[in-house]
Amino acid sequence: MALLTVEDLSVIYAQRSTAVRAVDRVSFTIEPGEIVALVGESGSGKTSVALALTKLLPMPPAAISGDVRLSGTSLLDATGDTLRSIRGGTISYVFQDPATSLNPVLTIGEQLVEAIELHTDARGREAKQEAIRWLQRVGIPSAEERLGAYPHEFSGGMQQRACIAMALASRPALLVADEPTTALDVTIQVQILRLLRDLQRTLSLSVLLISHDLTVVERIAHRVGVMAGGRLVELGAVEQVLHQPAHPHTKELLRYRSMMTLKREGKR
Amino acid sequence: MMAAPIIEARAVSKWYPRRAGVLRRQVGAIRAVDRMNVSLGAGQTLGLVGESGCGKTTLAKLLVRLLEASEGEVFVHGQPFASLRGPRLLAARRAIQFIFQDPLNSLNPRLTVEETLAEPLVIHRLARGEARRSRIRELLVAVQLPPSYRSRLPRELSGGERQRVGIARALATEPEALICDEPIASLDVSVGAQIIELLRTLAHRRRTALLFISHDLGAVASLCDRIAVMKDGRLVEFGPTEELLSRPAHSYTELLIRSASLDLEFVPP
Ligand SMILES: Nc1ncnc2c1ncn2[C@@H]1O[C@H](COP(=O)(O)OP(=O)(O)OP(=O)(O)O)[C@@H](O)[C@H]1O
Ligand SMILES: Nc1ncnc2c1ncn2[C@@H]1O[C@H](COP(=O)(O)OP(=O)(O)OP(=O)(O)O)[C@@H](O)[C@H]1O
Ligand SMILES: [Mg+2]
Ligand SMILES: [Mg+2]
């Protein structure tokens, strides 16, 4: 059975005089241990899909409809405590804007230890050791010393990695990662992708990966969906969608991609 | 005689206290930027790359004087930036604009897109009334946002849309130098390519000086004439783009270039 089933998901934002249909009847599934990517132009509705899954959008102005099921249980019908225990637990998030998901008045270590104690059996010293290990896994140098740092003392890419560590430390079944590598150079990006791949292989972690970086998608995802104007216009195996695109929007994305890749022919 | 560069940093350093343990005792200093020299003349395009945490944002903030240097000095048209006051400080602020790495935190959550873009025009007395409104329309077009977005608040925008509002705000004063900190990081390839094109046009036609920070080596190579590579707060390599990419002298530069085409099974040295 699929871990996540999304059917006819729609999100509408009420604006003063109009309504913005940000997500328009989107359907897809994610199997246990499967990495599904969402790509598409800026404003096409990717973040709205991710946040709607567990009703993380402020309602109003947002109105969500459709059906979202986690191992058969409806998420859109769930309320209060049930939702809170799912968010950050079974489903954890790496938000597009790292700074907003970190608490500015708690140290990175305090926040990590809190996530670990809340969702695993580790306590005290053991939780702290676990926190250090997670920072090391996401490539933060001098991890033990950095536990005591506040978020504003981290660089953009370090904040992003702290968020990834925090999301993974709660041992989710599904990780929803919204542009998790935008602030990372390729060397660290590869390290993070390798970490996700390892967790997917050993613990059957499922991932919904939102990324505008098609190289990242190609490196790690099994299937990819292309969004345009709120609709999922194409969905299929990565090799197929990125090499034999069917939809004009996908072709357009790929055309720009080849313009931007490092041209090194004959140089090395 | 050669004109002084628009902006120049001479041996600038920024140290932060290094703290350890829960008590956060100070145990030394993090040299976030360590005696860096940077110079930007009209029309020059300089790419700045380096691993996460190497000091790129700190250097950029020193250049635009959002941070004060621990040592060394920044000059604007040959004048020490730190000594400027009153109208000359205002002129320097207008001439040198910054695009922030983190768009959400750099936008005032209570200002609409229109108010955000009007602010620099008002502060620097650049346009009023109908001229101001039409300038705002132009800026929105330049970053590919529909005119109807004027009345939106930052939280009513997508991540990439917010980043573009930040870019439009930096363009509003027609700066002589633009310091761009990961300006296309949250943009899809098509919008990203168009923003690069816009920056290229500014550099060529208006002779705008660009410092372009990005971890996307492809984008840096396509826009910049020269590339500087930082590591641990220091400049480790610097040169014309073609040369640096084809004959990297420093092993870190080589690794950066190589990892652009890595696959996951690759084990870094
Ligand atoms: N509160 C809101 N009110 C009105 N419109 C909104 C609101 N929030 C988002 N939108 C609009 O909904 C659309 C989808 O936004 P969303 O954040 O899902 O896009 P995205 O695909 O994640 O884009 P990006 O790649 O730029 O992050 C955008 O056009 C955006 O302007
Ligand atoms: N306010 C601060 N207090 C203490 N340390 C800081 C502070 N700001 C930055 N640092 C440290 O200085 C170093 C350089 O940070 P900076 O933000 O300049 O890196 P960066 O090259 O921009 O990285 P990224 O690519 O991840 O954005 C990092 O080790 C960071 O933790
Ligand atoms: Mg988004
Ligand atoms: Mg930075």
pLDDT above 80 (res B124): yes
Range of the domain at B235: 7-101+176-259
**Per residue in A33-55, pLDDT tens?**
999 999 998 999 999 999 999 99
User: What would the CATH number be for the domain defined by A1-87+222-268?
Assistant: 3.40.50.300
Asked if B215's CB is within 8 angstroms of A262's CB, the reply is: no
A171 vs chain B: nearest CA distance in angstroms?
22
Q: Is the CB of A98 under 6 A from ligand 1?
A: no
DSSP 8-state secondary structure symbol assigned to residue B45: E
**Per residue in A161-187, pLDDT tens?**
999 999 999 899 999 999 998 888 888
Question: Can you give the pLDDT at residue A213?
Answer: 85
**Per residue in B136-169, pLDDT tens?**
999 999 999 999 999 999 999 999 999 999 999 9
How far is it, in rounded angstroms, from Cα B211 to Cα B224?
A: 9
Question: Can you give the pLDDT at residue B254?
Answer: 80
Closest residue in A to B196 (Cα–Cα)? A260
Q: What is the pTM of this model?
A: 0.90
Name the segment(s) of chain A with CATH classification 3.40.50.300. Answer: 1-87+222-268, 89-175+184-211
Report the pLDDT averaged over residues A6-23: 92
Q: Is the CB of B159 under 6 A from ligand 1?
A: yes
Provide the number of CB pairs (under 8 Å) joining chain A to chain B: 155
Identify the residue with better confidence: A16 or A27: A27
Chain B residues in contact with A217 by the CB 8 A cut-off are: none
Ligand 2 atom at minimal distance to the Cα of residue A185: 25
Q: What is the predicted ipTM?
A: 0.87
Report if residue B251 sits inside a domain: yes
**And the tokens for B83?**
């000594």
Report the pLDDT averaged over residues B177-204: 90
Give the number of domains in chain B. 1
Closest residue in A to B217 (Cα–Cα)? A262
User: What's the CATH code of the domain at B194?
Assistant: 3.40.50.300
How far is it, in rounded angstroms, from Cα A231 to Cα A197?
A: 28
Q: Is the CB of A152 under 6 A from ligand 2?
A: yes
In 3D, which of A197, A195, A104, A190 has the Cα closest to residue A153? Answer: A104
Cβ-proximal residues to B244 (8 Å cutoff; 6+ apart), any chain: B227, B229, B237, B238, B253
The top-level CATH class assigned to A89-175+184-211 is alpha beta
- Stretch among A96-100, A153-157, A178-182 having the lowest mean pLDDT: A96-100
Report if residue B162 sits inside a domain: no
Asked if A185's CB is within 8 angstroms of B51's CB, the reply is: yes
Q: Which of A98, A148, A260 sits opposite B218 (nearest CB)?
A: A260
Q: Which of B49, B102, B159 sits opposite A47 (nearest CB)?
A: B159
How far is it, in rounded angstroms, from Cα B172 to Cα B99?
A: 12
pLDDT above 70 (res A264): no
Instruction: Tell me the pairing of strands A35-40 and A91-94.
Output: unpaired
Question: Can you give the pLDDT at residue B261?
Answer: 55
Q: Helices A156-169 and A124-137 sit at what angle, rounded to 10 degrees? A: 130
Which of B26, B49, B57 for mutating ligand 2's site (highest number of atoms within 8 Å of CB)? Answer: B57
